[in-house]
């Protein structure tokens, strides 16, 4: 009986381990909006490859500026030309894909000058993109699922306050997802403090254009060290591995599919906070087929 009990316990332990590994299945998030040749938002969601699509970018806001969205060749916000995206957004959501608006980007004009400024921007975002009311909603009536912080300039002040203000709107009904795309050197120079607030749901860390913490051919050590720091020190629900979808999508950091599957995924999937992979961007993914190649392994 003792032997059988030990065998049963071993089997149970193995089963629980397999279940734990299975439950660590992740998803793919992708940035869309900075190239008019990447297909429509509706087409992007219809691929079935993505769990989240991040609209890039609300590039101008804060410090008294009139907020302005920039979706490159997709539509002209100056003539109210982006409101037609509303039906695409709702189509994505009907497919179970979260649609999130990204603030910032590498070339935007943005900063927050005070707590009051952060509150004002949060109110604007709520009324114009989330569940509030405005007569001038840039993307039409559709209610987005959340707000992403891709802060790569300005100052490092008041982003945590903005995140808290936005998160508080979840109490009004539909959850407002708060996400971020910091650089992999830890802590992030711009939103390192904001990420300590604990209100972030998904953090897609940019493991590219940052040689000290990204993968290099045959060497996963730097990436592993950075990944372990992010997953252990940031109080977010899920951490994602942010990658370029093709070698052309970034200056450095592209991981060939075979290397990702054999060398990188076994390491990062060990974390309870593992959420999946983020790709920059849909345009480059179209050309490389990267998401299709990795989605069964993510």
* Residues labelled as active-site residues: 152
Q: What would the two tokens of residue 50 be?
A: 């993505």
Give the span between the Cα atoms of 204 and 220, in whole angstroms: 18
Query: C-alpha dihedral over 22, 23, 25, 30, to 10 degrees?
Result: 170
Tell me, what DSSP letter sits at residue 263? I
Q: Please report which residue ranges of the chain form alpha helices under DSSP H.
A: 2-23, 41-46, 85-94, 115-128, 159-168, 221-233, 257-259, 265-268, 282-288, 290-294
- The DSSP annotation for 23-49 comes to HT--EEEEEESS-TTS--HHHHHHTS-
Q: DSSP 3-state helix, strand, coil percentages of the chain (rounded to 5)?
A: 40, 20, 40
Q: What would the two tokens of residue 42 be?
A: 């509706």
Give the span between the Cα atoms of 232 and 273, in whole angstroms: 9
Give the span between the Cα atoms of 86 and 107, in whole angstroms: 25
Tell me, what DSSP letter sits at residue 189? T
């Amino acid at each position: 009986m003792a032997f059988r009990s030990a065998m049963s316990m071993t089997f149970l332990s193995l089963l629980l381990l397999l279940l734990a590994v299975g439950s660590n299945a992740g998803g793919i998030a992708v940035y869309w909006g900075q190239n008019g040749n990447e297909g429509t938002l509706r087409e992007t969601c219809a691929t079935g490859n993505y769990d989240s699509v991040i609209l890039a970018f609300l590039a101008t806001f804060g410090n008294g500026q009139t907020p302005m969205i920039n979706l490159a060749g997709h539509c002209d916000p100056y003539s109210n030309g982006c409101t037609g995206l509303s039906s695409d957004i709702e189509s994505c959501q009907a497919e179970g894909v979260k649609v999130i608006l990204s603030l910032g980007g590498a070339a935007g004009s943005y900063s927050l000058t005070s707590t009051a400024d952060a509150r004002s921007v949060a109110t604007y975002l709520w009324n114009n993109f989330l569940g509030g009311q405005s007569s001038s909603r840039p993307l039409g009536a559709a209610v987005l699922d959340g707000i992403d912080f891709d802060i790569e300039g300005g100052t490092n002040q008041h982003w945590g306050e903005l995140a808290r203000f936005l998160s508080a709107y979840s109490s009004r009904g539909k959850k407002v997802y708060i996400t971020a795309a910091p650089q992999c050197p830890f802590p992030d120079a711009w939103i390192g403090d904001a990420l300590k607030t604990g209100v972030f749901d998904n953090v897609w860390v940019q493991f590219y254009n940052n040689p000290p913490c990204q993968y290099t051919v045959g060497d996963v050590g730097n990436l592993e060290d950075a990944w372990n720091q992010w997953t252990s020190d940031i109080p977010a629900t899920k951490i994602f591995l942010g990658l370029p979808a093709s070698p052309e999508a970034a200056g450095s950091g592209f991981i060939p599919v075979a290397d990702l599957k054999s060398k990188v995924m076994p390491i990062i999937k060990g974390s309870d906070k593992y959420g999946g992979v983020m790709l920059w961007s849909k345009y480059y993914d179209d050309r490389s087929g990267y998401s299709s190649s990795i989605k069964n392994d993510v």
